[in-house]
Chain A
Amino acid sequence: MVEGKKSINFLKAMLYLLPALVLMAIFTFYPLIDTFIISFKEQYDNVTGAYSSIGFENYQRIFSAGNQFVLCLCNTMVIVFASVPVSILLSLLIAVALNSIKPLQRFFQTVFFLPYVTNTIAIGMVFSIVFESHQGLANTIITSLGGSNVNWLGGNIQGVTLGNNLFNPDNALFTPQWFTSMIVLMVYIIWNSLPFKILILLSALQSIDKQYYQAAQIDGTSKFRIFSRITVPLLSPQIFYLLITSFIGAFKEYTSVVAIFGEGAQSVGHRHNMATVVWYIYDKIGSSDATEMGLAAAGAVVLFAIIMFFTAINGYVGKKRVHY
């Protein structure tokens, strides 16, 4: 009897899940697997579906010296490892500050949350105006303080670049111009990712029992120790969640680059010098050369593997460090 009931329940469950499963199979699972397969098809023709043989040629091509993909991978890594820690740290500090003020708390919460409900492209356009290389707001402020125009987004030959001592202009990617433009991109990405993080951390902060802080106060705990020994550990599940999701998000960075630097993803110097891996994938999908679809697929698989790797590391570290 019970066995029969169980199998009927199972069938019922499958029936309810069917619509979602069918749609996901067509639009998620099939493309996922197909991408994997295409990445190994050499000379794969996007239109006819013909290919010469199965092998690693696509991977060899994207990793060959001078290929755009390597540059994109470098940019992506820089974005991930600079923007994620900085934005989490900043949002943590802002959330703690917001939580500790009483007057106008709601107002500031709204202010900090506004970018989240604003279109990424729109904010990108604002940024590209603020950091415009001739008359932008940033340059206006700098020149009024006695500095000279900075060639933030490229296009101003007279403009100066930053990091001239750090980077050689003859470098393949890491030129002073690249560094200057990357600053703008970082500011934008971090700015854009703050609201969500602040929201998550602030709500977590507000649910921490006030008595922990009272107990700490009675014991004469310093502000810094309260932050590092009580607040951060108690927020660690949320910080960990943000770390994983922002890692994945930053690896897939695309919109921000296009919003600021346009579809070519470049400031002056090398072509596509601000491009990311996802930009590369889109670029190769849209390529006029039909056989470049294989490169896009290989790029996507590499990105997938990298994200898997870092998520696994995060998961491993998280188990040891996060207190639930």
Chain B
Amino acid sequence: MDIRLVNLTKIFADKNSEVRAVDNLDIVIPSGKLIGLLGPSGCGKSTTLYMIAGLLEPTMGQIFFGDEDVTNLSAEKRGIGLVFQNYALYPHLTVKQNIMFPLQNMRMPKAEILARTQKYARLVGIEDLLDRKPKQLSGGQQQRVAIARALVKEPKVLLLDEPLSNLDARLRLQTREEIKRIQRETGITTVFVTHDQEEAMSISDEIVVMKAGVEQQRGKPQDVYEQPVNQFVAKFLGTPPINIFYGKVEKGGLYIGDELIGSSNLEDQEVNIGIRPEGFEISEDGTLSVEVKQVEHIGRDTSVVASNKNTEKETFRFIVESGVEVKEHTTIKVAVKPNKCYVFDKIEEKRVQ
């Protein structure tokens, strides 16, 4: 079952001001897919999730589950499972009682409740922890319990609010694989919210990048990364982030300062040029001269902090293979790979090349 959001708008208003948390959002979430809503904090992604869940009422617009308009349906009638950011496990109930709780509400026969509880405890890998209280579990285990509790009703949609933000780095890596696996095994349409682009890109079938309540771009993670529609999306995806240079187009040439780094078929104008960290190559034939400030060897490759007077920030960062020798405090020549270089309109920050 797919989910469609049609002109979804949420306005939080009080006496003095109103905030458009979500603005005219049109998204189709395909059936059985894992979709990541991605954006900086305050971009309306959690609000969107809560509206899909039915905990928040949209100001305008509609939500469809399949062909059914669920906009005015209360949360419990929508058949969704929600995993909260801090899990919201009932602290006074054991893991087993927590997972059973939604089923007991449905007045299901006892034998079936137990069978289902077992099934989903096994699915998320917590069958030995059933008699513990949430406090006696680690963050990752609590997360699994929360997922089991959300899934045990066998909902049509699974919603996850910042599912990995409360976990440490190692656990995060493990849990995101786990979420992917559970989603694949159950085939449930899943929407999750995150501000961490790496997290979103690594497990989503599709990502939706949002900013200030407005959808910026939607697509497969790699497509969005490689073909960002604007400077915001380009800057938001990728670590280390993309480097922005002030440049210009002149007679078919693309310049940073006075140095020609590529070609362009645009009219002559001032532009912003975004170059991914992996888009640089140290070479004698390079045209862009940069001053190396610092070299960081991080095992697999080498990260170089350098400066150029036309960068948006004081320094920028690029990555070269670990074998390449780079000396600190020298000026070197680099070439720019054309497919890692994006040209943005100076005013609207839309991508033009």
- Chain A interface residues toward B at CB < 8 A: 209, 211-212, 214-222, 225, 229-230, 233-234, 236, 323
Do the beta carbons of A211 and B105 come within 8 Å of each other? no
The closest CB in chain B to the CB of A214 belongs to B55
Beyond A221-B101, A233-B90, 16 additional contacts (C-beta under 8 Å) are A209-B88, A211-B84, A211-B88, A212-B90, A215-B88, A217-B76, A218-B53, A218-B81, A219-B153, A220-B77, A220-B106, A221-B105, A225-B105, A229-B101, A233-B93, A234-B91
Number of interface residues of B (CB under 8 A): 23
B86 within 8 Å of A (CB atoms): yes
Contacts of B84 in A (CB 8 A): 211, 214-215
Q: What are the nearest 4 A-B pairs in CB distance? A: A220-B76, A323-B92, A219-B102, A211-B88
A265 and B53 CA atoms in complex are apart in Å by: 61
Main secondary structure of the interface of A (DSSP, over half): helix
Chain B contacts with A in 83-98, Cβ cutoff 8 A:
84, 86, 88, 90-93
0 or 1 for each of B52-87: is its CB under 8 Å from A? (1 = yes): 011100000000000000000011110011101010
- A217 partner, pick from B55, B91, B101, beta carbons under 8 A: B55
The closest CB in chain B to the CB of A322 belongs to B92
Contacts of A221 in B (CB 8 A): 76, 101, 105
Do the beta carbons of B76 and A219 come within 8 Å of each other? yes
Contacts of B90 in A (CB 8 A): 212, 215, 229-230, 233
Min Cβ gap B70→A in Å is 13
Do the beta carbons of B82 and A323 come within 8 Å of each other? no
- B91 partner, pick from A216, A225, A323, beta carbons under 8 A: A323
The verdict on A217 contacting B75 (CB below 8 Å), with A212-B88, A230-B90, A233-B92 known, is: yes
Do the beta carbons of B88 and A220 come within 8 Å of each other? no
Do the beta carbons of A219 and B86 come within 8 Å of each other? no
A83 and B353 CA atoms in complex are apart in Å by: 79
A229 and B92 CA atoms in complex are apart in Å by: 9
- Chain B interface residues toward A at CB < 8 A: 53-55, 74-77, 80-82, 84, 86, 88, 90-93, 101-102, 105-106, 149, 153
Contacts of A218 in B (CB 8 A): 53-55, 75-76, 80-82
- B101 partner, pick from A214, A219, A236, beta carbons under 8 A: A219
A222 and B82 CA atoms in complex are apart in Å by: 18
- A214 partner, pick from B88, B102, B106, B153, beta carbons under 8 A: B88
A-B contact pairs, 26 of them (CB 8 A): A211-B86, A211-B88, A212-B88, A214-B55, A214-B82, A214-B84, A214-B88, A215-B84, A215-B149, A217-B55, A217-B74, A217-B75, A218-B53, A218-B82, A219-B105, A220-B76, A220-B77, A220-B105, A220-B106, A221-B76, A221-B101, A221-B105, A225-B105, A229-B90, A233-B90, A233-B92
Contacts of B149 in A (CB 8 A): 215
A217 and B55 CA atoms in complex are apart in Å by: 8
The closest CB in chain A to the CB of B80 belongs to A218
A230 and B92 CA atoms in complex are apart in Å by: 8
Contacts of B74 in A (CB 8 A): 217
- B82 partner, pick from A209, A215, A230, A234, beta carbons under 8 A: A215
Contacts of B55 in A (CB 8 A): 214, 217-218
A16 and B253 CA atoms in complex are apart in Å by: 83
Query: Which residue among A214, A230, A233 has the maximum number of chain B CB atoms within 10 Å of its CB?
Result: A214
A234 and B105 CA atoms in complex are apart in Å by: 19
Do the beta carbons of B92 and A234 come within 8 Å of each other? yes
Query: Which residue among B55, B77, B80, B106 has the maximum number of chain A CB atoms within 10 Å of its CB?
Result: B55
A221 and B93 CA atoms in complex are apart in Å by: 15
A211 and B89 CA atoms in complex are apart in Å by: 9
A219 and B77 CA atoms in complex are apart in Å by: 9
Contacts of A211 in B (CB 8 A): 84, 86, 88
Contacts of A217 in B (CB 8 A): 55, 74-76
Do the beta carbons of B105 and A222 come within 8 Å of each other? yes
Min Cβ gap A42→B in Å is 53
The closest CB in chain A to the CB of B54 belongs to A218
Contacts of B77 in A (CB 8 A): 220
A114 and B107 CA atoms in complex are apart in Å by: 44
Contacts of A234 in B (CB 8 A): 91-92
Min Cβ gap B304→A in Å is 45
A215 and B53 CA atoms in complex are apart in Å by: 10
A214 and B74 CA atoms in complex are apart in Å by: 12
Min Cβ gap B3→A in Å is 16
The closest CB in chain B to the CB of A232 belongs to B92
Contacts of B93 in A (CB 8 A): 233
A212 and B84 CA atoms in complex are apart in Å by: 10
The closest CB in chain B to the CB of A220 belongs to B76
A217 and B91 CA atoms in complex are apart in Å by: 17
A214 and B49 CA atoms in complex are apart in Å by: 13
Query: Which residue among B53, B77, B86, B91 has the maximum number of chain A CB atoms within 10 Å of its CB?
Result: B91
A273 and B80 CA atoms in complex are apart in Å by: 62
Contacts of B53 in A (CB 8 A): 218
Min Cβ gap B122→A in Å is 21
Min Cβ gap B148→A in Å is 13
Min Cβ gap B123→A in Å is 18
Min Cβ gap A236→B in Å is 8
Min Cβ gap B117→A in Å is 14
Contacts of A214 in B (CB 8 A): 55, 75, 82, 84, 88
Contacts of A236 in B (CB 8 A): 92
The closest CB in chain A to the CB of B104 belongs to A225
Contacts of A216 in B (CB 8 A): 101
Contacts of A220 in B (CB 8 A): 76-77, 102, 105-106
Contacts of B106 in A (CB 8 A): 220
Min Cβ gap A194→B in Å is 26
A232 and B45 CA atoms in complex are apart in Å by: 33
Contacts of B153 in A (CB 8 A): 219
A212 and B88 CA atoms in complex are apart in Å by: 5
